[in-house]
Amino acid sequence: MNLQELLNETLITTDLREGNKFQIIQELLELAVQAGKVRDGERALKDLIEREQYLSTGFENGLAVPHAKSEAVTEMVLVFGLNKKGVDFDSLDGKPTHFIFLLLSPMDTSGPHIQTLALLARNFQKPDNVVQLKNADGVQEVVAILREFK
């Protein structure tokens, strides 16, 4: 599994607005809807919010990965948003979140969903990746950095 298979420039924003985590989820989901990756935006939003209310998906090192399985998608969808200032995502370390990946998978997709979560968590343990992404200048540079995540 690599992120290049899931992400393209239409699913990335380097200018993520400030707001609470539910507004951020909605903003990222809108990118997926506009790209035609989500059949039912309302259903997907409901699934993501329910999952987030159950347990925060704000990790450490500035990373959050709101995720859910949903009937609103027929294939796995990954969206990335960068907020250089940082937002409150109820992270484990209590620090601002800069990197938000929204992940939606079909109801019957377990292995690839978990593999993608693990790949993201593993790559954000590497300080160089965090620094490079935080300093990225535009979507194309983000794509180049994420392409190296293995």
Catalytic: which of 31, 52, 62, 67? 67
Closest by CA to 58, choosing from 40, 35, 83, 38, is: 83
| Residue 1: pLDDT over 70 | no
Domain 3-147 homologous superfamily, CATH: Mannitol-specific EII; Chain A (3.40.930.10)
Residues 92, 82 contacting (CB under 8 angstroms) = no
Domain segments of the chain as ranges:
3-147
- pLDDT score recorded for residue 2: 72
Torsion sign, CA atoms 94, 82, 85, 144: positive
Count of CA atoms in the C-beta half-sphere (13 A) of 147: 8
Q: Give the tens place of pLDDT for each residue, 66-78.
A: 999 999 999 999 9
Query: Which pTM does this prediction carry?
Result: 0.94
- pLDDT score recorded for residue 5: 84
Helix (H, G, I), strand (E, B), or coil: what is residue 12? strand
| Residue 67 is a catalytic residue | yes
Q: Give the tens place of pLDDT for each residue, 2-50.
A: 787 888 899 999 999 988 999 999 999 999 999 999 999 999 999 999 9
Q: Name the one residue in this structure whose structure tokens are 């601002």.
A: 96
- pLDDT score recorded for residue 16: 93
pLDDT > 70 fraction of the chain, expressed in percent and rounded: 99
